[in-house]
C-alpha cells in the first residue's frame, strides 16, 4: 500500500514517522506493508525526524493525486476549500482513496465527496476530524450501528476545555487564561475558530450526520462560544454544584434534530465535569445500548496521527466503512428545528447596586412564568466596576422561548448595564447512574 501525505505539519510529520519507524508492527497488525512514497509540504528541506530517501516530494499537493506510485492520499493541509479540496477531488477522480483530518471540509463537502468515493468504489476516511485520538466516529458508525441514537453530546474542543478547566482551578479570567494557552501552544494566535465554537460545531455536524443519517448541516447548529464566560460565572457555577464546559449536543426529538454548541453547566459529579485540560469526550445515548462515553486526547500530533493511521489501515485492508456509515446518497436532509426545549437556566446580570433592582428583575421573570431556584448577588458596588455588581441566578425548568423573551425585557431595565450571560444547566449530560 503506497501512501502520499499532503501537509507535513505536526500531524503529517508524526504520521510519516509512525509509518516509517513502526513499519513492522503496523504490517504485523494489519497484514499489509505500508510505504510512504510521496509527500508535499511548504518546505522540502526541513528535517522532520524521518529520512526522505526514496520519498518523492511535490511542491503542489494536487500533483500527489496523479502519481502512479500512490494508492492512498492523506490530506493534512487543512482549510475547507482551496488546495485540500482540490487534492481530495483529484485523488477520488484518479481512483485513489483518501484519508483526511479536515473537519471543516468534511462538514461542508463531506456528503458530496463521500458519494463520489462510494460511486468509484473508493474510501473516504476521516476519523481524525473529530475528537482527535478517540475513535469516536468508528464507535458511533460501526460499534453502535444498530442503535436509534437519541442524543450525542461531547466536549469537542480541547482549547476551550483547557481554558474553562484552567479558569475553574485557578479562578483567573478568560483573557488571562487564553493568553497563557496561546503561549503554551494550546490556542492559536487567532483563537476564533476554537473559542467561538466553530471548530466544535464542525465536529458536531459530522457526528450528527453519522448518528442520525442526515446530510451534515453546519448552518443549522446554534453556536455560542466561551468568550462571555467570566470568572464570576465559573465561581457561581461551582457554588451551585456545577462546572462549565463547552458542550456540543445533538438531540433527536421524534425525528426533529436540534444541534447546539454552547457553554453549559454540568453537575460537578458528572463524567463531563471531570474532563479536564485539553481532553475531549464523546457521549452517545441510544437504544438498545443505553449510554456510552469515551474520553481521550482531542488534539496533539500523536493522538491525531493515531486516528489517521487507523484510517490508513482500514482503507488498506478494505475495511473502511462509508464515511457516514449509511451510503451518502441515502442521507436525508436534516429537519433542524428548535423545539423549545425545557431546561434550567443560569443567568448573570451586571446591575447598578441600588435598592429595587432585584425586585424589578424577579418581576420580569415572574411575568414570564419563570421560577427562580436560587439567586446570588456577589459583592458590593465598591468592589465592582462603575458602581455595578454581578447578580447570578438559576431557574427551575423553563421553556427556552420564555427565557429569551424575559432576557429581552431584562436588558431594557435601567439598572442592567451590560449584555446578560445565559447558560443552560444540564441535569443529565453524560451521567450514567441510570444504567
Neighbour count for residue 396 (Cβ, 10 Å): 12
> Is residue 257 involved in binding its own copies (CB under 8 A)?
no
DSSP three-state, residue 266: strand
- In 3D space, the residue among 90, 100, 95 whose CA is nearest the CA of residue 61 turns out to be 90
Q: Does 21 bind its own copies (CB under 8 A)?
A: no
Please tell me the distance from the alpha carbon of residue 423 to that of residue 407, in angstroms, as a whole number: 12
Site string for its own copies, 131-160 (x = CB under 8 A): --xxx--xx--xxxxxxx------------
CB-CB contact of 145 with 286 (8 Å): no
* 428 part of the interface to its own copies, by CB under 8 A: no
Interface with its own copies (CB under 8 A), residue from 6, 104, 181, 307: 307
Single out the residue of 111, 309, 328, 424 in contact with its own copies (rule: CB under 8 A).
Answer: 309
Question: According to the binding rule CB under 8 A, does residue 49 interact with its own copies?
Answer: no
Burial of 142 (0-12, 13-18, 19+ CB in 10 A): middle
Residue 432 is a binding residue for its own copies (CB under 8 A): yes
Which of these, 391, 365, 395, lies nearest to 377 by C-alpha position? Answer: 391
CB of 314 to its own copies, least distance (A): 7
DSSP one-letter code for 315: H
- Answer yes or no whether residue 314 interacts with its own copies by CB under 8 A: yes
In the chain, helix, strand, coil percent, each to 5? 40, 25, 35
* Per-residue mark of binding to its own copies, 346-385 (x: CB under 8 A): ----------------------------------------
The cell numbers describing 54, all together, are 526514496
Q: CB of residue 19 vs its own copies: minimum separation in angstroms?
A: 8
Instruction: Show contacts with its own copies in window 168-227 (CB under 8 A).
Output: 213
Q: Which residue from 224, 252, 306, 395 is in contact with its own copies, where contact means CB under 8 A? A: 306
Residue from 45, 59, 386, 435 touching its own copies (CB under 8 A): that is 435
Catalytic residue from among 103, 108, 138, 203: 203
How would you list the strands of the sheet with 97-100, edge to edge? 56-58, 35-40, 2-6, 72-75, 97-100, 124-125
For residue 103, give the nearest of 238, 194, 8, 167 by alpha carbon: 194
Site string for its own copies, 111-130 (x = CB under 8 A): ----------------x---
- Residue 254 sits in the site that holds its own copies (CB under 8 A): no
Query: What is the closest distance, in whole angstroms, from the C-beta atom of residue 171 to its own copies in the complex?
Result: 19
Tell me how crowded residue 136 is: count the other CB atoms within 10 A of its CB: 30
CA distance 412 to 51: 65
Cβ pair 112, 284 in contact under 8 A: no
Q: Which three cell numbers stand for residue 388?
A: 455595578
C-alpha span between 394 and 390 (Å, rounded): 13
CB of 326 to its own copies, least distance (A): 5
Nearer to its own copies, 221 or 312 (CB): 312
Pick one of 94, 274, 373, 384: the residue that binds its own copies (CB under 8 A): 274
Q: What kind and span of H or E run contains 407?
A: helix 400-412
Which residue number, 11 or 91, has a Cβ lying nearer to its own copies?
11
18 contacts its own copies (rule: CB under 8 A): yes
103 is an active site residue: no
List the catalytic residues: 203
Which residue ranges make up the site for its own copies (CB under 8 A)?
14, 18, 22, 25-26, 28-31, 127, 133-135, 138-139, 142-148, 213, 269, 271, 274, 276-279, 286-297, 300-303, 305-307, 309-310, 312-314, 317-322, 325-327, 330, 432-433, 435
Amino acid at each position: 500500500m503506497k501512501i502520499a501525505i499532503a501537509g507535513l505539519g505536526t500531524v503529517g510529520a508524526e504520521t510519516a514517522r509512525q509509518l516509517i519507524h513502526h513499519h513492522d508492527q503496523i504490517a504485523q497488525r494489519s497484514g499489509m506493508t505500508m510505504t510512504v512514497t510521496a509527500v508535499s509540504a511548504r518546505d522540502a528541506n526541513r528535517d522532520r525526524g524521518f529520512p526522505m530517501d526514496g520519498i518523492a516530494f511535490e511542491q503542489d499537493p494536487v500533483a500527489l493525486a496523479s502519481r502512479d506510485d500512490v494508492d492512498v492520499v492523506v490530506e493534512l493541509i487543512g482549510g475547507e476549500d482551496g488546495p485540500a479540496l482540490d487534492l481530495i477531488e483529484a485523488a477520488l477522480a484518479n481512483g485513489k482513496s483518501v484519508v483526511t483530518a479536515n473537519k471543516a471540509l468534511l462538514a461542508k463537502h463531506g456528503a458530496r465527496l463521500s458519494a463520489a468515493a462510494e460511486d468509484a468504489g473508493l474510501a473516504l476516511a476521516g476519523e481524525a476530524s473529530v475528537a482527535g485520538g478517540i475513535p469516536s466516529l468508528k464507535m458511533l458508525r460501526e460499534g453502535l450501528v444498530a442503535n436509534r441514537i437519541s442524543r450525542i453530546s461531547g466536549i469537542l474542543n480541547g482549547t476551550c476545555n483547557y481554558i474553562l478547566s484552567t479558569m475553574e482551578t485557578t479562578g483567573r479570567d478568560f483573557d488571562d487564561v487564553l493568553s497563557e494557552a496561546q503561549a503554551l501552544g494550546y490556542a492559536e494566535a487567532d483563537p476564533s475558530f476554537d473559542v467561538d465554537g466553530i471548530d466544535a460545531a464542525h465536529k458536531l455536524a459530522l457526528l450528527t450526520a453519522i448518528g442520525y443519517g442526515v446530510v451534515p448541516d453546519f448552518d443549522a447548529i446554534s453556536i455560542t462560544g466561551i468568550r462571555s464566560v467570566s470568572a464570576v460565572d465559573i465561581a457561581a457555577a461551582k457554588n451551585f454544584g456545577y462546572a462549565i464546559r463547552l458542550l456540543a449536543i445533538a438531540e433527536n426529538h421524534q425525528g426533529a434534530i436540534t444541534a447546539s454548541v454552547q457553554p453549559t453547566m454540568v453537575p460537578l459529579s458528572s463524567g463531563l465535569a471531570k474532563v479536564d485540560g485539553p481532553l475531549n469526550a464523546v457521549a452517545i445515548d441510544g437504544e438498545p445500548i443505553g449510554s456510552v462515553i469515551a474520553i481521550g486526547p482531542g488534539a496533539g500530533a500523536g493522538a491525531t496521527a493515531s486516528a489517521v493511521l487507523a484510517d490508513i489501515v482500514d482503507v488498506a485492508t478494505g475495511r473502511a466503512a462509508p464515511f457516514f456509515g449509511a451510503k451518502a446518497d441515502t442521507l436525508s436532509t436534516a429537519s433542524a428545528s428548535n423545539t423549545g426545549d425545557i431546561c434550567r437556566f443560569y443567568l448573570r446580570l451586571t446591575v447598578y447596586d441600588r435598592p429595587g433592582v432585584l425586585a424589578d428583575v424577579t418581576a420580569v421573570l415572574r411575568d414570564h412564568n419563570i421560577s427562580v431556584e436560587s439567586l446570588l448577588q456577589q459583592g458590593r458596588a465598591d468592589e465592582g466596576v462603575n458602581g455595578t455588581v454581578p447578580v447570578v441566578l438559576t431557574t427551575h425548568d423553563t421553556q427556552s422561548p420564555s427565557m429569551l423573551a424575559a432576557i429581552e425585557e431584562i436588558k431594557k431595565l435601567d439598572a442592567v448595564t451590560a449584555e446578560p450571560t445565559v447558560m443552560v444547566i444540564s441535569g443529565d449530560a453524560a451521567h450514567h447512574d441510570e444504567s
